[in-house]
C-alpha cells in the first residue's frame, strides 16, 4: 500500500490554509462509500469543515492547519471498508493525531481502493499544532506495519525495512535508491504530486514544470553560469523569455507573457534561492521590464495564416488552452536542440508576441497569422510548431 500527504502544485510543503477544509471535506465525503469522524462535536460531516476551521483559529500562527492524507492499495488487493478504517486508525496513531479532528472517507471510485483522511493539525483543546516533521518517514513506516498486520503485499517505498522478532518494523536507508533520487533532483526531475496530476487532468496537458525540454534546461544553466550579478541574470533570462523570482521562502521560474511557472528546483537543485543567493548575493528584483522589439523587419510575404477547425473551436476557446498556449509554443521551440540553440530572444509578453533568432530573423504571432522577417529552417520550425499548438492550418 502507498501513503501520501497531498501537496498543492506550486506550493512548498504539504497541507492547506483554513479555507481548504470546506472543499476538502466535501470532496472526501461526497464520493465516499463510508464516512467516519474523529473528535468532532457534530455527527454530520456537513458541519465538520466549519468546526475544523473554527478550531484552527485557536492558533493564529498556523498558516496551514489543513492536512490531507491518502492511503491506497494495489488494484489486485480489495480491502473492505472495515479494513481501510482500521488502516486509517493505525496511521492516525502512528502520526500522533489521535486527539485531533479528522474526517475519514473510503473510496471505491477507481481500480485502486483508497481512503482519505482530512486532518486538522491544530489541537481542539490546547490549540497546539501537530508537527509535520519527517511525516513522509512516519507514513512509510506505518504503511509497512499495516501491510504486515493485514497481510498485504509490501509496496516499494523510499526505505528498506527490517522486521524484528516481536513484529516491530524498522526502516533503514536504501543507498541505491537515494543516489538515484539525488541524481534526479540535481537534474530537476521530481515525481508528480497528486495535485500536479489533478491539474494536468483538468487542462489536458502536462504542466510547465513537468515538460521542460532538456535543451532549455541546458540554456538556462549556461545563462546562470555566466551571470555576475542579479541584474545581469535577469537581462539574460529575459532574452530566453524567462524570469527568476522569489516566491515565499523559495523561488520560481516563469515564462514572460504567461501565468505558468515552475519551481526553481525543476531546472535543477543548484538553482534554489539559497544556492543562488550564495553565488550572486541577496536577491534583487529586475530594475526594469525586459524589452526586445524587432517587428519592423517583417515582410508580409513571409507569413502563415488560416482558421481554426470547427471541431477545435471549443477547445481553443477555453481559458485553460489560452493559459497554456504560449508555454506550448515556447517548449516546442526547445524540443529540437538545433532550433533551441538558434534562439536569441523570446518575448511572449510583447504585443504581439515574438521570437528572435541569432541571425536576427524574427517570428511574430499576430493572432490570425504568423509572420517572419525571413524564411529559414529555424523560423519555419517555429512557425509550424506554433501553428500546431494554436490549432491553425497552414495555407
CATH number for position 14: 3.30.930
* Together in a domain, 48 and 140: yes
* Together in a domain, 306 and 249: no
* Together in a domain, 25 and 77: yes
* Together in a domain, 317 and 251: no
| Mean pLDDT within 72-99 | 96
* Together in a domain, 155 and 21: yes
| Mean pLDDT within 245-267 | 87
350-365 residue pLDDT tens: 777 778 888 888 888 7
Residue 171's pLDDT is: 84
Residue 301 in this model has a pLDDT that exceeds 60: no
Residue 306 in this model has a pLDDT that exceeds 60: no
Residue in 97, 96, 114 with CA at minimum distance from that of residue 105 = 114
* Together in a domain, 56 and 129: yes
Residue 305's pLDDT is: 46
Range in 126-140, 164-178, 284-298 the model is least confident about: 284-298
Residue 39's pLDDT is: 97
Residue 78 in this model has a pLDDT that exceeds 80: yes
Residue 322 in this model has a pLDDT that exceeds 70: no
Residue 316's pLDDT is: 46
Range in 73-82, 212-221, 364-373 the model is least confident about: 364-373
* Together in a domain, 248 and 308: no
- The CATH number of residue 347's host domain is 3.30.310
Last residue of a domain, one of 253, 280, 307: 280
Where is pLDDT greater, at 334 or 268? 268
Where is pLDDT greater, at 187 or 145? 145
* Together in a domain, 276 and 300: no
Residue 214 in this model has a pLDDT that exceeds 70: yes
186: in domain: no
Residue pointed to by grid coordinates 541571425: 359
Residue 314 in this model has a pLDDT that exceeds 60: no
81: in domain: yes
* Together in a domain, 227 and 304: no
266: in domain: yes
39: in domain: yes
| Mean pLDDT within 143-171 | 86
Last residue of a domain, one of 248, 280, 312: 280
As a whole number, the mean pLDDT across the chain is 82
Number of domains in the chain: 3
Question: In this prediction, what percent of the chain has a pLDDT beyond 70?
Answer: 77
Confidence of residue 292 (pLDDT cuts 50, 70, 90): low
* Together in a domain, 37 and 97: yes
Residue 318's domain spans which residues? 295-390
The span from the CA of 30 to the CA of 123, in Å, is 25
Amino acid at each position: 500500500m502507498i501513503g501520501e500527504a497531498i501537496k498543492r502544485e506550486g506550493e512548498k510543503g504539504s497541507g492547506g490554509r483554513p479555507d481548504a477544509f470546506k472543499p476538502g471535506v466535501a470532496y472526501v465525503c461526497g464520493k465516499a462509500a463510508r464516512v467516519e469522524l474523529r473528535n468532532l462535536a457534530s455527527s454530520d460531516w456537513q458541519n465538520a469543515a466549519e468546526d475544523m476551521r473554527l478550531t484552527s483559529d485557536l492558533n493564529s500562527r498556523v498558516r496551514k492547519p489543513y492536512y490531507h492524507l491518502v492511503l491506497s492499495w494495489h488494484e489486485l488487493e480489495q480491502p473492505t471498508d472495515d479494513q481501510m478504517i482500521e488502516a486509517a486508525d493505525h496511521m492516525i496513531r502512528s502520526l500522533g493525531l489521535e486527539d485531533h479532528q479528522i474526517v475519514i472517507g473510503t473510496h471505491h471510485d477507481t481500480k485502486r481502493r483508497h481512503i482519505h483522511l482530512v486532518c486538522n493539525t491544530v489541537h481542539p483543546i490546547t490549540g497546539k499544532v501537530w508537527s509535520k516533521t519527517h511525516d513522509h518517514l512516519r507514513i512509510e513506516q506505518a504503511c509497512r506495519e499495516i501491510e504486515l498486520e493485514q497481510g498485504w503485499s509490501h509496496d516499494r517505498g523510499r526505505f528498506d525495512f527490517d522486521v524484528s522478532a516481536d513484529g516491530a518494523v524498522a526502516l533503514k536507508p536504501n543507498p541505491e535508491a537515494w543516489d538515484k533520487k539525488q541524481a534526479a533532483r540535481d537534474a530537476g526531475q521530481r515525481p508528480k504530486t497528486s495535485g500536479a496530476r489533478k491539474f494536468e487532468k483538468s487542462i489536458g496537458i502536462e504542466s510547465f514544470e513537468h515538460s521542460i525540454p532538456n535543451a532549455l534546461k541546458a540554456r538556462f544553466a549556461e545563462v546562470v553560469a555566466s551571470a555576475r550579478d542579479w541584474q545581469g541574470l535577469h537581462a539574460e533570462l529575459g532574452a530566453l523569455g524567462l524570469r527568476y523570482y522569489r516566491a515565499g521562502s523559495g523561488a520560481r521560474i516563469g515564462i514572460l507573457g504567461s501565468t505558468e511557472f515552475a519551481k526553481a528546483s525543476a531546472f535543477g537543485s543548484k538553482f534554489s534561492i539559497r544556492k543562488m543567493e550564495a553565488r550572486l548575493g541577496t536577491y534583487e528584483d529586475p530594475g526594469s521590464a525586459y524589452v526586445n522589439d524587432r517587428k519592423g523587419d517583417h515582410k508580409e510575404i513571409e507569413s502563415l495564416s488560416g482558421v481554426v477547425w470547427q471541431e477545435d473551436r471549443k477547445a481553443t476557446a477555453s481559458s485553460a488552452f489560452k493559459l497554456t498556449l504560449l508555454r506550448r509554443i515556447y517548449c516546442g521551440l526547445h524540443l529540437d536542440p538545433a532550433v533551441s540553440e538558434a534562439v536569441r530572444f523570446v518575448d511572449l509578453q510583447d504585443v504581439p508576441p515574438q521570437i528572435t533568432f541569432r541571425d536576427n530573423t524574427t517570428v511574430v504571432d499576430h493572432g490570425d497569422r504568423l509572420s517572419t522577417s525571413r524564411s529559414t529552417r529555424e523560423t519555419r520550425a517555429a512557425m509550424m510548431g506554433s501553428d500546431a499548438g494554436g490549432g491553425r492550418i497552414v495555407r
